[in-house]
Structure 1
Amino acid sequence: MEKIKEVIVVEGKTDTAIIKKLFDADTIETHGLAIDDKILDLIEQTNQTRGVIVLTDPDYPGMRIRNMIMERVPHVKQAFVDKKDAIGKKKLGIAEAREEAIIEALQNVVTFTKDIQTITWQEFISLDIIGDKKRRLEIYDLFHLGYGNAKTLYKRLNMAHISKEDILKKLGE
């Protein structure tokens, strides 16, 4: 069983159970949107000592939790499971996700920083991503950046230091 040195931030008990089934890892549970300053303090302290990987559900509450954590701990590591891989019978989430998707997400962790622009808005527009959902989702998948609209993709590409050339290379163009 693979050991993960960082602590994985998840939303709840069922997410912790699946992580512990797949990895030798510790977790911090946010209790969904009930995340409070005590939990954010714990995440911040843990990030300074062991590092933290945020793995929340690929839905709106999961994104809100992720954003709250990023505001407090800007350079936290991120892992994303695609929506299509996290649909259960009645719910959408990490606990419902395919095990391979969780493993892949944790093998393709990204760290966002806000200080460098690696792709300009003009370069981004020239890639014909806006208005082409299929192409946008393909780029999200190729770089393991989660899910969002075109503006979010533009921000995340810059935060992950991905250039137009990197995108074209991965797309094979």
Structure 2
Amino acid sequence: MIKEVLVVEGKMDIAAIRKAYPDDPPDCIITGGFTLAKHTLDDIEKASKRRGIIILTDPDGAGERIRKFLAKRFPEAKHAFVPREDATANDDVGIEQASPEAIRSALAKVRTAHIDVKETFQSADMVRWRLSGADSAAERRARLGAALGIGYANAKTFLLRLNHYGVTREEFDEGIRAL
């Protein structure tokens, strides 16, 4: 059972989540895209204070912009990421395209951004493990991000997520071995 309220982009996302949790679907709030009306932000704020929120936006540019905006406004929010390859069908990318298994997997790997950031990972780690500067870097970041539950990102954002979402050296090393 998910006690937090999921923040998603649209009605079809909720339908996909209900397929993933048919017996006990979590409560959701729809952003309606990046417009984020005042009443929607008020609803998200109330949910955040009462039960907590999990941001589950699409793994595309618009979804990332919404996530960044909400993360700034609600720093205590949790984050779930469905990998892009698991959220793509019919030339469309979004949570509504994800399988129930992909949604459950993402919500099983929820991360919280830490205010007291530990600089566990450096740019040198990114280069050493071919996550930056290598021909296969984007693919390796996508696979490692899915395994760690921090999603796909460019090298700079990926490094920030490693340090901000509490990824341990042990988790990182295990993910690298699996690559």
* Of 158, 161, 177, the match for 1:172: 177
The farther-off stretch of 53-62 and 18-27 is 18-27
In the alignment, what sits opposite 2:57? 56
- Residue 136 of structure 1: CA displacement? 2.1
Separation in 2, partners of 1:99, 1:119: 32
Separation in 1, partners of 2:157, 2:114: 14
Is the 2:55–2:80 contact (alpha carbons within 8 Å) kept by the matching residues of 1?
Answer: yes
- Residue 50 of structure 1: CA displacement? 0.6
Separation in 1, partners of 2:88, 2:51: 31
Q: Relative to 1, partners in 2 of residues 1:49 and 1:103: Cα closer, same or farther, differing over 3 Å?
A: same
Is the 1:119–1:163 contact (alpha carbons within 8 Å) kept by the matching residues of 2?
Answer: no
Separation in 1, partners of 2:60, 2:10: 14
In the alignment, what sits opposite 1:127? 129
In the alignment, what sits opposite 1:94? 95
Q: Relative to 1, partners in 2 of residues 1:88 and 1:122: Cα closer, same or farther, differing over 3 Å?
A: closer
* Of 135, 141, 144, the match for 1:139: 144
User: Which structure 2 segments of 5+ residues have no match?
Assistant: none
Provide the secondary structure at the position in 2 that maps to 1:9.
strand
Aligned pairs, number: 171
Structure 2 counterpart of 1:47, one-letter code: S
Give TM-score scaled by structure 2 length: 0.86
Query: Percent of counterpart pairs with the same letter?
Result: 39
Give TM-score scaled by structure 1 length: 0.89
- Residue 166 of structure 1: CA displacement? 3.6
Provide the secondary structure at the position in 1 that maps to 2:158.
helix
Separation in 1, partners of 2:39, 2:106: 27
Q: Relative to 1, partners in 2 of residues 1:91 and 1:138: Cα closer, same or farther, differing over 3 Å?
A: closer
Structure 1 counterpart of 2:158, one-letter code: L
Establish whether residue 148 from structure 1 lines up as the match of residue 150 from structure 2: no
- Residue 141 of structure 1: CA displacement? 1.8
Structure 2 counterpart of 1:21, one-letter code: K
User: Which structure 1 segments of 5+ residues have no match?
Assistant: none
Separation in 2, partners of 1:61, 1:133: 19
Separation in 2, partners of 1:45, 1:26: 13
Separation in 2, partners of 1:62, 1:47: 19
Query: C-alpha root-mean-square deviation of aligned residues, in Å?
Result: 1.8
In the alignment, what sits opposite 1:162? 167
Q: Relative to 1, partners in 2 of residues 1:169 and 1:88: Cα closer, same or farther, differing over 3 Å?
A: closer
In the alignment, what sits opposite 1:18? 16
